[in-house]
Amino acid sequence: MFTLASADETVPEAKVPGSSRIGMIVPSSNTTMETELPELFRRQSEATGHRYTFHSARATLKNVTPKELAAMVAKAAECSAAVSDADVDVIAYACLVAVMAQGPGAHVGSEQVIGQAAADNGRPAPVTSSAGALVRTLTDMGARKVVMVTPYMPELTKLVSDYIEGAGITVQDVVGLEVADNLEVGRLDPERLPELAGRLNRSGVDAVVLSACVQMPSLAAVQRAEDELGVPVITAATATAYEILKALGHPPAISGAGALLAGTLEKLQATFSADA
């Protein structure tokens, strides 16, 4: 139940008809999600006329290590309450490995904690997490076998692989780039990704996870990789965008970022199956 704010409380500006507010919780060192997601939704706006604005809260993370990831997770509820002050329509927890480091299925509890914090703040909103979005999107796609590229050190690459396999999806092959500094992850060249994915054993796979990390840039390469490899390609960022659209009830209409967000996945899958 919503309550009226008292006269001395700050009330967010009334929403503009035909627009949605997207809240994000991001690592303090993240430089990618606040560029890739707005660009994806700019394309959605271009196709549909609906406008989207972004409102972020940040949790400290400099190096992608178990200790720092755990500390970031502990800040999730506080960040959720802060971003919900903007009266957002959906909240995305944009740190995949921080959630996955807690063990398979951890996204369920993390999303509940974030949602409860927003509700307790008087501004309830649906919640997705990049970890949950990735495994749910792969499940929605009917993917049972995938390959993936990560920027992580071997320990965390295995953790992500185990997490996905814990959702019933086989990770047939994976490459980890072994970059620990999160700012350095954000500087990786996305143009390398199609070549890296092309080296993986893709025999019989249903999808390629081109970037199993919200910090590793990938948007510039998604469409090219999908066109070259002839198999559905997603990333942690495109899966998160897909779930945001679902939460808002908006059919995807995003160009140049793969069939999933273009709304043409079934057509690509039919072609892929015919060629297999």
**Catalytic amino acids?**
95, 213
| Nearest to 231, CA basis, from 150, 138, 129 | 138
CB 173 within 8 A of CB 203: no
Q: Which two tokens stand for residue 104?
A: 């398979």
For 5-129, where are the alpha helices, taking DSSP H only? 33-48, 66-73, 76-84, 96-100, 106-120
Between CA 136 and CA 174 the distance in angstroms is 19
Contact assessment for residue 172 and residue 201, using Cβ atoms and an 8 Å cutoff: yes
CA–CA separation, 42 vs 208, rounded Å?
24
Query: Which residues, 6 or more positions from 107, have their beta carbon under 8 angstroms from its beta carbon?
Result: 99, 100, 129, 131, 132, 135
